[in-house]
Structure 1
Amino acid sequence: MMKNLYKHTDDGTPKGSVNREETPKNHTDEGKTERWRKLEISIYDGESDAYSWINKLECFFQMRDILEEEKIQAAMVALDGKALSWFQWWETCNSDIGWSDFKVAILERFQTSTTLNPFAALLALKQEETVEEYIEQFERF
């Protein structure tokens, strides 16, 4: 006969066993949703790096399971200042816009030309400061 290797709790169930009715929240779909619930979309005002903002936004959309048709509305809520003014103008000038259209348009409007053509920027990169700062500049491309 096998010896019971589990220590028992007060209710008679072995310690370390999984009670299917009381699965911890972080192991359920509900727990997964709760884990990301506090994430917020960062606000974009047209002054900072548009490419980084788009990347963060796409990660947010993936984690929150945002539908393709909801992405532009969600992004619009996260716009402020001149970026919001631009979007309102852009939206009236374009019909039947999709998320891909929006990404291209906002990058063309707000991203610097060196970032739109990273290969050219990489070729023009010169080490003028510390090696660490040079590496940081290199990693941007």
Structure 2
Amino acid sequence: MTVLQTEVRTIGQKQDLMSVAVEDVQKSVSEIGLQLSVMTEVLKSLRPDPPGRNREKTTDIGTSAPVKSPTLLEQENRNALLRAQLEKEKEQTRSCEEVFMQRLPPINVTKPPGFHNQRDQDQVTEGPTPPAGTSRPVHTPVFNQHINNRESQLWQGYYRTYEQEMKAQFIKSMTKGPRMDFPKFDGTDPVGWIRQSNKFFQMAGAPEEYKVSLAQLHIVGEADVWLRRSGLLKQKLTWNEFGEQIVHRFSASGSYDLTEKFNNVKQHGQTVQEYTKIFEDLMADVQYENPTLSETWFVRCYVNGLRGGIKYQLRPPRPSSVTEAYWMARDVEPSHPPKKTSSVPNTTSA
């Protein structure tokens, strides 16, 4: 079958080439005939014949066939051969098509999924009659599989369309949306800058692949010098990886210093509000470096840092969050004020 199809296509290509060649030959013949007629007229005008001789030639021309040049005869013979070959190729093409159509296999008409013939239904229904009010399932498992595949394809297309619309929405919000100033970073408070940047990305609906490119436009001063020298932009980092590098370089204290400072936070003579502010500032840095730490662990650290009277009253209720522990400590604080230390002057006996 494949060889026959190849022969049919080859014959068709030859026919096209021969048709083009015949058209070119016909054009050449018409041009040569025009040139010969012009040359004949020129010769007649240059060599006039006697009146009697012209009359005889006119009579001969009127009664006899026109004389053709050898070039014209050669072109006509060539055209005749090409036409005969073209007809032969067409006849061979028709015969090949007939043979090809005869060799085609019969078409098997398959039933669509879920379709049952009336005869098949009659054969299936042979046997006990189902009770009244019950119906057979209309769709076969093949039909259900077809529907499930179609639904999955539709959902995949919907996800791609949604992703493209989100990118377009981000670009539109950056150009025509409400003005939102992106925070600048000069090397101070890297954790706070990353936190503010995440807020901006959330409000603008920024795609993940645009975050690093947008953030590096707002890095200035010492941080910009470090960024150009470090070569981070050539590494194609994700936003989380880029933020880790920023914190690692510009953090005010190392991991050990931060952990020691956080563990040594105590209330002492401060109010609950002042103590909570210091605790939450350090807690944000610790959470960024250790995202796996749970809220329960931070609640225990917070309660253990309170003064003795407040601390022991907050342990039995077991607050579930730092905010809940803060408000419980505020309620208990008036009954446990800080102890006043009196300075006693040293006396020496004479």
TM-score where L is the length of structure 2: 0.28
The offset of 1:122, in angstroms, is 2.1
The offset of 1:83, in angstroms, is 0.8
Which residue in the other structure is 1:98 paired with? 238
**Closer/same/farther in 2, CA of residues 117 and 72 from structure 1, 3 Å limit:** farther
Where does 1:72-111 land on structure 2 (aligned, <5 Å)? Answer: 72-91=212-231, 95-111=235-251
Give me the whole-angstrom Cα distance separating, in 2, the residues matched to 1:54 and 1:116.
21
Equivalent pair of 1:72/1:98 in contact (CA under 8 Å): yes
Which residue in the other structure is 2:252 paired with? 112
* Counterpart among 272, 275, 291 of residue 134 in structure 1: 275
Count of residue correspondences: 108
Which residue in the other structure is 1:3 paired with? none
**Closer/same/farther in 2, CA of residues 70 and 57 from structure 1, 3 Å limit:** same
Q: Between Structure 1 and Structure 2, which shows a larger proportion of helix residues?
A: 2
Equivalent pair of 1:41/1:60 in contact (CA under 8 Å): yes
Give me the whole-angstrom Cα distance separating, in 2, the residues matched to 1:72 and 1:94.
11
Identical-pair percentage? 26
Give me the whole-angstrom Cα distance separating, in 1, the residues matched to 2:228 and 2:256.
23
Equivalent pair of 1:61/1:71 in contact (CA under 8 Å): yes
Higher Cα Rg, which structure: 2
SS in 1 for 2:186: coil
Give me the whole-angstrom Cα distance separating, in 1, the residues matched to 2:190 and 2:256.
10
* 2:197 counterpart letter in structure 1: L
RMSD: 2.8
Whose relative contact order is higher, 1 or 2, with alpha carbons under 8 Å and at least 6 apart?
A: 1
Query: Deviation digits for residues 62-86 of structure 1, max 9, x if unmatched?
Result: 1101111111111111111011111
The offset of 1:88, in angstroms, is 1.1
The offset of 1:106, in angstroms, is 0.1
**Closer/same/farther in 2, CA of residues 77 and 42 from structure 1, 3 Å limit:** same
* 1:124 counterpart letter in structure 2: N
**Closer/same/farther in 2, CA of residues 116 and 105 from structure 1, 3 Å limit:** farther
* 1:40 counterpart letter in structure 2: D
Equivalent pair of 1:114/1:120 in contact (CA under 8 Å): no
* 2:228 counterpart letter in structure 1: Q
* 1:108 counterpart letter in structure 2: H
Which residue in the other structure is 1:37 paired with? 178
TM-score where L is the length of structure 1: 0.64
* 2:208 counterpart letter in structure 1: E
* Counterpart among 176, 195, 198 of residue 55 in structure 1: 195
Give me the whole-angstrom Cα distance separating, in 2, the residues matched to 1:116 and 1:69.
33
* 2:280 counterpart letter in structure 1: E
Give me the whole-angstrom Cα distance separating, in 2, the residues matched to 1:96 and 1:45.
22
* 1:70 counterpart letter in structure 2: Y
Give me the whole-angstrom Cα distance separating, in 2, the residues matched to 1:138 and 1:89.
35
**Closer/same/farther in 2, CA of residues 124 and 99 from structure 1, 3 Å limit:** same
* 1:91 counterpart letter in structure 2: G
Equivalent pair of 1:115/1:121 in contact (CA under 8 Å): no
Query: Deviation digits for residues 23-82 of structure 1, max 9, x if unmatched?
Result: xxxxxx9xxx59x62211011100x21101101101101110111111111111111101
Give me the whole-angstrom Cα distance separating, in 2, the residues matched to 1:121 and 1:104.
20
Moved over 6 A (4+): none
